[in-house]
Structure 1
Amino acid sequence: MSTIQTIGVDLAKNVFSIHGVDAYGKCVLRKTVKRNKLLDTFANLPPCIIGMEACSGAHHWSRELKKLGHTPKIMASKFVIPYRQSEKNDPNDAEAICEAVSRPKTRFVSVKSEEQQAVLCLHRIRHSLVKNRTATINQLRGLLSEFGIIIPQGRYPLQKMVPDILEDAENGIPFLARELLSDLVNNIRHLNEEILRYDRKVYRLSKEMKQAAKLMAVPGVGEHSATAIVATVSDGKQFGTSRQFAAWIGLVPRQYSTGGHVHLGRISKRGEKHIRTLLIHGARAVIARCKEKTDRTSLWLQQLVERRGYKRAAVALAAKNARIIWALLTTENEYQANYISG
């Protein structure tokens, strides 16, 4: 039997398809194993490259396979789809993964540690709470409009005005509706408390994570942005350049060029949506205060806002910060406000 060089694994909950090839690309292993037998199967194989799609459990299996001496590699599903032959099923997916992991231009996801995934769990849970609060606020505003009561936009005006509205016996809201709307108000208050509790956890983590504390020196990068970036990309060395890092976040222009003519459009919005959102929100906060400052970045922003508008300036600053963040992660340098490269 030829020595196995590369293996593709189609991950699932209980049943996994495996496809292995030798140095010449010939299939020498094709089987299906159950979850409790997966590690035993790989423990009996020589060290090899193992490809997997980025999905739930991919980082866990990668850590376990590393312990067995293998080299696991995680990739996005978009890199696998072009290599799938015939119909979509688990064995064909495993074969496509095996082919994709061996291609030189395939980009891989760095394997995260348990600690990194724990920090990302915190961010995801908090994000879901914020979405639930926004949905509840919108529902409350919509239900009040059914009774002819219009609330100004924003959660602070709503939270301030609704208690007085519910206590007003002359506004025509039936008693049952008052009870139900009061329940929604209590839900919003509970969500506020939960979000604040998670915010405090993020603040504590930002003090404990050395890299995160360094990133927070960049204007527009706060505790949430810094901890999310460090937990997601660690030292950032999987990206060859700062532009690759910005492109992964989705902050570079979408390109459609042909015949020597370069056409650049809006930002691509690919990759990591959560980090992109945090960086743009941070950039907005910087722009709001830039008129009061005279450093190089603030002067540049003032001119950019005047020339290109507020929203484009916010995205430009977010992209600039992404490149600075990559430089800080991949080197021992500290942030300098008026730094000029030599």
Structure 2
Amino acid sequence: MTKNTVIGIDLAKSSFAVVVLEQGGREHSKKTFRREGLKRFLIRQQPSTVALEACGSAHYWGRFLESHGHQAVLLPPQHVKGYLRGQKNDYNDARAIAEACLHGAIRPVRIKSQEQQDEQAFHAIRTQIQNDSTRLVNQMRGLLAEQGLSVPRTVASFCKRVPELLEDAQNGLSGRFRELLNRQLQRLYELRGELAWYDERIQHQARTDDTCRRLKAVPGMGPIVASSLKSWMGDGRQFSRGRDASAALGLVPRQYSTGGKQSLYGITKRGDKHVRALVVHGARALLRVAHTRNDRLSQWALAIKQRRGQNRAVVALANKLVRIGWVIIARQESYQPTPSA
């Protein structure tokens, strides 16, 4: 193989199809490997460009390839699909990945570090615990409603109201239902205790991590938003400007223009929906108190709210917060609020 060789790998759980292309696009070889066999094959090769789809295990393989001298290129799957020729199978998929890399027109995905993946796993587990708590409360509220009892919808109110129902002997609940309700309440206590541990770790990170401290100084960014945005963006160097970061998070208008006529619609909603939701919630919280603030960012948001309405102002403010966050992360700067004129 030459130094201009491109190796395309179709990743899977246990069987990996590999297609090797030379610089002119001519197929050099193709073969299928198991996991350990693929590692031995890659270690034996001279430093080459190895193309992968940015799927679940791609960041692990990207770090493995870079540690053995290869250049790992992670390509978005939706852009690789256009290079697929013939019927879909593992070899054709691997060849499409290699040809997409050889073409060089697709912007690759930046490889995540182990620390970045750990932070994303932390937030994913915390979100799952929150969802489990909400799901449990909603289920028990529905079952209690069938018994003719009304319970507030928030988790805190549920934990306060249910012990009162268990102690009330005149509300008509049977002994079996009381036992079930008590077991679910104990399970909810465990979930809330687990969630409190995650929240304490986020607060600790917000106090000790320099990037999170600088992000937290931005209005609308609390510890959770700052930690989530940092874990999603990494060092921010994969974006050349703040608008690219907000576009990757899906906070820019969707465009369908033709014949010189510009048509803009709602936001694209690309990227990580959880991080986008947190930033939007932070923007909504800031807009709610913007009338009490005298900085330029708050007055700018209020002006948009007056012209375009509440929801558009929230999204525009979220877009602005991501841009500010990119400057803080990528350029290592601190937020300096500007007083309104």
TM-score scaled to structure 1, two decimals?
0.93
Deviation at 1:3, TM superposition (A): 5.8
Gaps (5+ residues) in structure 2?
none
Residue aligned with 2:41, SS = helix
Stretch moving more, 252-261 or 187-196: 252-261
**Deviation per residue, 1:222-249 (Å, 9 max, x gap):** 2222222222322212112221111110
Paired letter, 1:25: G
Cα distance change, pair 10–339 in 1 and its aligned pair in 2 (3 A)? farther
Stretches of 4+ aligned residues off by more than 4 angstroms: 1-4
Q: Where does residue 104 of structure 2 map in the other structure?
A: 104
Counterparts of 1:150 and 1:261, CA distance in 2 = 55
Q: Where does residue 215 of structure 1 map in the other structure?
A: 215
Deviation at 1:63, TM superposition (A): 0.9
Please list, as runs of the form range in 1=range in 2, the aligned pairs for 1:11-90 lying within 5 A after superposition. 11-90=11-90
Deviation at 1:86, TM superposition (A): 2.1
Alignment pair present for 1:10 and 2:46: no
**Deviation per residue, 1:193-222 (Å, 9 max, x gap):** 111101111222233432222222111122
Cα pair 2:59 2:111 within 8 Å, conserved: yes
Q: Where does residue 93 of structure 1 map in the other structure?
A: 93
Cα pair 1:43 1:68 within 8 Å, conserved: yes
Q: Where does residue 326 of structure 1 map in the other structure?
A: 326
Cα distance change, pair 327–2 in 1 and its aligned pair in 2 (3 A)? closer
Stretch moving more, 278-287 or 299-308: 299-308
Counterparts of 1:109 and 1:208, CA distance in 2 = 29
Q: Where does residue 197 of structure 1 map in the other structure?
A: 197
**Deviation per residue, 1:13-40 (Å, 9 max, x gap):** 2221111101101010211111112121
Cα pair 1:17 1:94 within 8 Å, conserved: yes
Stretch moving more, 152-161 or 79-88: 152-161
Deviation at 1:45, TM superposition (A): 1.5
Q: CA RMSD in A?
A: 1.9
Counterparts of 1:224 and 1:101, CA distance in 2 = 37
Identity among equivalent positions (%) equals: 38
Q: Where does residue 227 of structure 2 map in the other structure?
A: 227
Counterparts of 2:62 and 2:116, CA distance in 1 = 14
Counterparts of 1:339 and 1:46, CA distance in 2 = 58
Cα pair 1:3 1:22 within 8 Å, conserved: no
TM-score scaled to structure 2, two decimals?
0.93
Cα distance change, pair 251–89 in 1 and its aligned pair in 2 (3 A)? same
Cα pair 2:280 2:314 within 8 Å, conserved: yes
Cα distance change, pair 12–236 in 1 and its aligned pair in 2 (3 A)? same
Gaps (5+ residues) in structure 1?
none
Q: Where does residue 117 of structure 2 map in the other structure?
A: 117
